Structure 1
Amino acid sequence: MSGQVDYYVSLNSPWTHLGAARLMEVTSRHGATVRIHPIDVGSVFSASGGLPLPKRSPQRQAYRIQELARWRDALAIPIDLEPKHFPANETTAAHCVLAVREMIGDQPAVDLAHRVLKALWEEQADTGDRDTIGRLISDVGLDGSSILEDADDERWAVLRSQETRVAIDRGVFGVPTYAVGGDIFWGQDRLDFLDRRLGAGC
């Protein structure tokens, strides 16, 4: 069965990174396309009652680390639980992902987002740094200098704001969220349910 998955992400999210490869396996198996939306999670939290990590209770912060360690080990994905540059300023990277999506295509944009997440969570890279982003763009076979220049256009900030509002209106309250039609699946631990949804047809 084919279909489209709207993929709402933060380029700082370890959970998005942990689910990245499995998302691509699931969607490939069903012949589904993935359209990525690097939204402003701060605005999503403000609209939905969520809290940014530093404002969460100590108990919730401690449990998050335990869960990250469990998933890291279960999936054999070698993330650093407290990477040096987390949270990075994701604005430029998000604008680059949008520029790639709109000017080149959905899959290259997903590839870039996943490369950014891997760099942050596995390689101790500062993904808020322009030179780093340029290198990561080149890593996925694209022109880093050209895309960085394009990403400076104000239209990407406007588009990101619009897509964040659409996400909120659609019921998105956290990342990663995978949406198919009227169904949303929040969290990389819901990929089995996305798999079933795609198998049931769109």
Structure 2
Amino acid sequence: MSHRADYYLAPQSPWTYLGHERFAAMAAQAGAVVRVLPVDLGRIFPVSGGLPLQKRAPQRQAYRLVELRRFSEHLGIPLNVQPKYFPVAGDDAARLIIAVDLHDGTQAALTIAGAILRAVWAQERNIADAQVLGQLLAENGLQPQRLEESRSAPVQQRYDANTQEAADLGVFGAPTYAVDGELFWGQDRLEFVQRRLQS
């Protein structure tokens, strides 16, 4: 019996970026059924006790930069800890991932999500810019009309539903991986995710 892996992500999250390729590879190796679920952290934080980065205490903000550097070096994943386009609104990128998922399937959604995350954290690109999102589609062999489709009511409804589902499950940050309903928060928990997928 294959496991179900629900992937709650935010396309502007550095921690989602650091875990993305490893999670995708683990899930594929395990033959898991993956659901790619972009969520709106702006609606998750207020109901879960979280704060946007700018509102966190200075010592927390400073330590975050240390940890990002540490994980980037440890994992060998390039990352600009203070990229040019951050903070950045992630809603349009999240909706694009959903549109790709709806029309092209899970693997394509994982591909465009990875491209969007790299754009922010490794390539100094603005994912709130429609032109950049169009370029990312083209670079990954996806149809340009996905951008227009990402602005549709069904996509917004899916985004809202993902966010509500996450809040109802007790998700409070990104990335969160739920394997058969069991929550694992953060890319530093991927070892536990892997064990669960192999059980």
TM-score range with shorter-chain normalisation?
over 0.9
Partner residue of 2:155? Answer: 156
Partner residue of 1:43? Answer: 43
Partner residue of 2:168? Answer: 169
Shift of 1:154: 2.2
Query: Against the structure 1 CA distance between its residues 39 and 84, is the aligned structure 2 distance closer, same or farther, given a 3 Å change threshold?
Result: same
Shift of 1:140: 1.5
CA contact (8 A) 2:3 2:180 kept: no
Which deviations, in whole Å up to 9, do the C-alpha atoms of 1:63-113 show, x marking residues without a partner? 000000000100111100100001222221111111111121011011101
Partner residue of 2:3? Answer: 3
Shift of 1:31: 1.1
Gaps of 5+ in 1: none
Cα distance in structure 1, aligned partners of 2:158 and 2:25: 28
Moved more, 91-100 or 119-128: 91-100
Partner residue of 2:188? Answer: 189
Cα distance in structure 2, aligned partners of 1:174 and 1:50: 8
Which deviations, in whole Å up to 9, do the C-alpha atoms of 1:124-169 show, x marking residues without a partner? 001110000001011111012x111111212222221111011111
Aligned residues: 199
Cα distance in structure 2, aligned partners of 1:25 and 1:101: 18
TM-score, scaled relative to structure 2: 0.97
Shift of 1:33: 2.7
Cα distance in structure 1, aligned partners of 2:59 and 2:117: 26
Cα distance in structure 2, aligned partners of 1:138 and 1:88: 22
Gaps of 5+ in 2: none
Partner residue of 2:177? Answer: 178
Please show how residues 1-202 of structure 1 align to structure 2 within 5 Å: 2-144=2-144, 146-200=145-199
Cα distance in structure 2, aligned partners of 1:58 and 1:42: 20
Shift of 1:2: 2.4
Shift of 1:196: 0.7
Sequence identity, in percent? 44
Aligned residue for 2:194, secondary structure, equals helix
Runs of 4+ off more than 3 Å: none
Cα distance in structure 1, aligned partners of 2:181 and 2:135: 37
Cα distance in structure 1, aligned partners of 2:28 and 2:104: 19
